Amino acid sequence: MNIGQAARQSGLSAKMIRYYESIGLLKTASRTDSGYRLYSAQDLHNLAFIKRSRDLGFSLEEVGKLLTLWQDRQRASADVKALARQHIDELSRKIEELASLRDTLQDLVEHCQGDHRPDCPILKDLASGGCCQ
């Protein structure tokens, strides 16, 4: 199938497919005599794997490692689990960071009168860079 069909079936854009190919995440597609890319059922399977991995928040580097592990039938599942565990740890760190940001902003919003006066603790905090309150 051509890149448009592969894009529709995989849920990825043609641009992303070309990008994944350019960085080596997806093997170089075969070409027709007129230069159009051709994708096989296995390529679609790989694209689905990449898309699902990205949907779960894995970085491109991690997706590459996962693809390598997936294609290696002699791999140890412990290697896959370790990579997934590292990703969970990173997600947990990001969640904590986002929760802290939310709490800080929530506190600022609660201290803002939100009336006709120009005094605004939100802008005051932003102008101070979060220090010197």
3-state SS, residue 12: coil
- As a whole number of angstroms, the distance between CA 115 and CA 104 comes to 21
pLDDT of residue 84: 98
pLDDT in tens, 76-94: 999 999 999 999 999 999 9
pLDDT in tens, 22-46: 999 999 999 999 989 999 999 999 9
Pick from 91, 6, 18, 14: nearest CA to 55: 91
3-state SS, residue 81: helix
pLDDT of residue 40: 94
- Tokens standing for residue 56: 């779960």
Rg (CA), the chain: 23
pTM: 0.80
pLDDT of residue 113: 87
